[in-house]
């Protein structure tokens, strides 16, 4: 008998109509009571941890979710976490580091329409997630619209459609077809998970727009230990506006700069153009390559909670975890 723990955190899947719009109001046990068709040999128990719209999810909540999995890890064979879709990719990425190398499935899911609606994807997604959690699919993943996506590679790409998530720069792990898990890839795992209990949330994100100047970057560096810069195309910074000088000054003061791209697919390559080549050659900024922005943010919070030494930060950043980047 497989024992699965369903952990509720809120989100659209658990929402009900209010006078001010949809808001979470259905418990984890309430969700479970509305889903039929769970295969024999699987026992699902529920736990209500949070009741939040995922817009309100913070890194403290990531730690709460990870802590809940850690506390119950030895009692269950797999875990399903119901969660709002808007920040689901961030939470999945964070759990990939906070419960690193889990040999048991930790599956996140949600819905684009509440479970009480006549037309809803909630029941299929939850049923599929339970099926995946009871299979031989280790590590953190998102199950949505019959897809199984690695937790470090997921991104929400549609705001309303049932097919809300895509796997970025990495194949899907598998799919749910005719009530069965079809596995394409089995991600690596450890004998036991490596749980982490702390995050350094002093990480900021700057999305470049044409004409922006260094004052915004200086503002973020002053208040954070690391800044992730979403650049254009394969990566680079404007030669005017003082960006290079800003990064040099703040790096000398112990800050971390990471360059990524606003383009969802195919990643960065700072060596292609002069505007990017200088950043690596002269300033030694870190490059995200094929990582998602969600994974970069979560990984930096995880790393900076462990070390502030530049050489160790760089080593850990470029060390693949849960295939968040291809080895360099």
Residues labelled as active-site residues: 12
Nearest one of 120, 118, 107 to 160, comparing CA atoms: 120
To the nearest 10 degrees (0 to 180), the angle between helices 310-317 and 293-304 is: 140
H runs (alpha helix) in the chain: 28-33, 59-72, 88-98, 122-133, 214-223, 243-252, 274-278, 293-304, 310-317
- Residue 181 CA: distances (Å) to CA of 163, 172, 278: 18, 12, 47
Structure letter (DSSP) for residue 56: G
What whole-number distance in Å separates Cα of residue 7 and Cα of residue 69? 9
């Amino acid at each position: 008998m497989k024992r699965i723990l369903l952990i509720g955190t809120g989100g659209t899947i658990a929402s009900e109509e209010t006078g001010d719009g949809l808001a979470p109001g259905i418990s984890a046990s309430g969700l479970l009571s509305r889903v039929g068709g769970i295969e024999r040999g699987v026992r699902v128990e529920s736990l209500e941890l949070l009741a939040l719209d995922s817009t309100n999810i913070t890194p403290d909540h990531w730690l709460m979710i990870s802590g809940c999995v850690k506390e119950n890890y030895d009692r269950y064979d797999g875990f399903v976490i119901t969660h709002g879709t808007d920040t689901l990719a961030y939470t999945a990425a964070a759990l990939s580091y906070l419960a690193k190398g889990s040999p048991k499935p930790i599956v996140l899911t949600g819905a684009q329409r509440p479970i009480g609606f006549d037309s809803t994807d909630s029941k299929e997604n939850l049923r599929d997630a339970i099926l995946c959690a009871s299979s031989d699919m280790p590590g953190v993943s998102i199950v949505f619209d019959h897809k199984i996506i690695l937790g470090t590679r997921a991104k929400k790409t549609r705001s309303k459609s049932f097919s809300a998530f895509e796997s970025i720069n990495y194949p899907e792990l598998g799919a749910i077809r005719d009530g069965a898990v079809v596995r394409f890839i089995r991600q690596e795992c450890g004998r036991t998970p490596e749980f982490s209990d702390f995050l350094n949330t002093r990480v900021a994100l700057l999305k470049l727009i044409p004409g922006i100047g260094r004052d915004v970057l200086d503002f973020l560096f002053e208040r954070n230990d690391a800044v992730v810069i979403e650049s254009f195309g394969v990566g680079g910074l404007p030669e005017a506006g003082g960006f290079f000088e800003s990064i040099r000054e703040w790096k000398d003061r112990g800050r971390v700069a990471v360059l990524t791209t606003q383009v969802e697919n195919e990643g960065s390559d700072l060596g292609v153009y002069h505007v990017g080549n200088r950043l690596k050659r002269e300033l030694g900024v870190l490059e995200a390559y094929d990582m998602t922005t969600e994974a970069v943010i979560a990984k930096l919070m995880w790393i900076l909670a462990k070390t502030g030494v530049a050489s160790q930060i760089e080593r850990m950043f470029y060390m693949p975890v849960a295939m968040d980047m291809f080895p360099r």
